[in-house]
Amino acid sequence: MVETVRVRFAPSPTGLLHVGSARTALYNWAFARHHGGVFVLRIDDTDPERSTDENTAAILDALRWLGLDWDEGPVAGGDHGPYFQTERSESYAGALATLKETGRVYPCFCTPEGLAERRTAAGGAWNGYDRVCRGLDPADTAERIETGEPHVWRLAVADDPPDIVFDDAVRGEMRFPGTAVDDFVLVRSDGTPTYNFASVVDDATMRITHVIRGDDHLSNTPKQIVVFEALGHDVPVFAHMSLIMGTDGKRLSKRHGAASVKAFREEGYLSDALVNYIALLGWSIDDKTVIVSRDELVEHFVLSRIANNPAVFDVEKLLWMNGVYLRDMEADRFRDIMVGELERAGLTDATDAAARPEWYGELAALVVDRTKTLNDLPGLVGFLFTDEVVVEEDARAKILLKEGAGAAIVAARETLELVDPFDAERIEAALRGLPERLEMKSRLVFQTVRVAVTGTTVSLPLFESIALLGRGPTLARLDAALPLTTP
């Protein structure tokens, strides 16, 4: 029988979901979906000082926004829970009991200070643990434990350990000398498990078949393999992917601007575009395909196509990709997204949008090519949603104070009053005659009208903007601008 693929994403809720972690989640998700397997979400909240419920909620929210649904985990439930490490102490106690029975752990009473002194005295001959407590008499240690003497539990590794070898699904054969793993701590003196113990117990009891994660965990893997073996569990397949760098070659962080999924969402990126961009940070279908939907990612996802070298996060490429997704989107969908953004910006409300779907559709068609991120929208269309425009000082100085601007406004007003029906085509036809009639340059005439109607020299196409604004408001704006020109 072929074993069902079970993978997990195990964030520590010590902050927001970073794009690097989002990529880990995405690859695990895609791998599970590709194989018809199970994607488990586990919350590694063992760091009580830095883990918060808000962070957990924000991580779940970010995963949902990215479209990464999990089969087992918080909210979803499942047969291998609980899915929060802080609720799994029974599992860790059970695993520790097993290791006690098989003699693979021993209590250690060394204080951190004592250990540090011995390490210094040894002049760097060893830096892990010198096994002082390994040879203690069991009757003696039982008594010390009984009297409440603080102690940790250490793994007793083999005396002459063989190399630890595993076949990493991304990096190929990895070999570590057995001596790289010392008698490390599994359970702290306060009874809590260390990461390397908790993670293995969880991966084992959750029947995880593949551990796909960042290569910042590569050095933990030999230790974890030793624990899997000590517990008598099968060792999962490991796949370690390289880190994500900023364009300066340093590990991607907040210094490079937005680094969390939430920040990109707030900057107006589409989830589809972000997922596509992150998917290609270290994975590819071939050497040319750049637009990859979630479905295509799932269809083509194989671990062997994860790149071995660090990926560079280039926000310019993401911006470009966002534009591609915006323009390729169904018109109605873009319109609805635009309406949502305008509502959020307080420019419109759902009632108005429902009452004038066509008007919003025309507006959407006008702005889509000019939108790089959703955050551009309020600025682009704001002039349509205000009773009065405020003419920018600079625009006034550059255009309205030019000679002839007043005459252009008067003439435009007279012309537009008569245009019927008030659509872009007829508005254009009517206004095109003005420059000649006024003996003025076209540019100045149209820029004057533009500044009067939109308040600025750079805006959406003029005739369409006027049509969308409607006759009444357009005439009112021309009237209001007239006193701003030179008499």
Return the active site residues.
Answer: 254
Q: Is 10 in the site for ligand GLU (CB under 6 A)?
A: yes
| Residues contacting ligand GLU: total by CB under 6 A | 7
Q: Is 447 in the site for ligand GLU (CB under 6 A)?
A: no
CB 342 within 8 A of CB 348: yes
Kindly state the tokens that stand for 384. 């349509």
Q: Which residue is nearest to ligand GLU (CB)?
A: 44
Inter-residue contact 261 to 65 (CB < 8 Å): yes
Residue selected from 18, 213, 294, 413 as contacting ligand GLU according to rule CB under 6 A: 213
- Residue 399 is given by DSSP the state I
- Which of 171, 217, 262, 370: binder of ligand GLU (CB under 6 A)? 217
Minimum Å gap between C-beta 119 and ligand GLU is 27
| Local structure of 139: helix, strand or coil | helix
- Which residues within the stretch 341-360 sit at the binding site for ligand GLU (CB under 6 A)? none
In whole angstroms, what is the distance from residue 403 CA to residue 178 CA? 86
- Binding status of residue 23 toward ligand GLU by CB under 6 A: no
Least separation, in Å, of the C-beta of 12 and ligand GLU? 4
Give me the sign of the Cα torsion angle 54, 201, 193, 219.
Answer: negative
Shortest spacing between CB 195 and ligand GLU, in angstroms: 7
Shortest distance in whole angstroms from residue 300 CB to ligand GLU: 23
Q: Binding of ligand GLU at residue 44 (CB under 6 A)?
A: yes
DSSP 398: I
CB of 44 to ligand GLU, least distance (A): 3
Q: How far is the CB of 55 from ligand GLU (least distance, A)?
A: 12
Q: Which two tokens stand for residue 57?
A: 């909620």
CA 249, 250, 252, 253 torsion: positive or negative? negative
Q: Is 18 in the site for ligand GLU (CB under 6 A)?
A: no
Q: Rank residues 44 and 464 by Cβ distance to ligand GLU and give the closer one.
A: 44
Task: Tell me whether residue 12 or residue 91 sits nearer to ligand GLU (CB atom).
Answer: 12
Instruction: State the Cα–Cα distance between residues 17 and 9, nearest whole angstrom.
Output: 12
- Is 12 among the residues that bind ligand GLU (CB under 6 A)? yes
Spatial CB neighbours of 64, under 8 Å, sequence gap ≥ 6 = none
Q: Which stretch binds ligand GLU (CB under 6 A): 5-13, 75-83, 101-109, 135-143?
A: 5-13
Site for ligand GLU in 377-436 (CB under 6 A): none
Residues numbered 322-341 forming contacts with ligand GLU, rule: CB under 6 A: none
Closest approach of Cβ 172 to ligand GLU, in Å? Answer: 20
11 is a contact residue toward ligand GLU (CB under 6 A) = yes
Q: 40: which strand partners?
A: 8, 72
Helix then strand then coil, in percent of the chain rounded to 5, is 55, 10, 35
Does 251 participate in binding ligand GLU (rule CB under 6 A)? Answer: no
Strand, helix or coil for residue 31: helix
Nearest to 261 by CA among 83, 60, 74: 60
- Binding region for ligand GLU (CB under 6 A) out of 9-17, 119-127, 167-175, 395-403: 9-17
Nearest CB to ligand GLU, comparing residues 199 and 448: 199
Q: How far apart are CA 448 and CA 455, in angstroms?
A: 10
- Only one of the segments 4-12, 129-137, 301-309, 369-377 lies at the binding site for ligand GLU (rule: CB under 6 A); that segment is 4-12
CA 386 to chain centre: 34
Region of 208 please: left (phi>0), alpha (psi -120 to 50) or beta. Answer: beta
Contact region with ligand GLU (CB under 6 A), list: 8-16, 278-286, 360-368, 457-465: 8-16
- Please report whether residue 28 would count as binding ligand GLU according to CB under 6 A: no
CA distances from 98 to 93, 105, 186, 243 (A): 9, 9, 13, 36
Number of helices and strands (H, E) in the chain?
A: 22, 11
Minimum distance between the CB of residue 199 and ligand GLU, rounded to whole angstroms?
Answer: 5
The residue ranges that bind ligand GLU (CB under 6 A) are 10-12, 44, 199, 213, 217
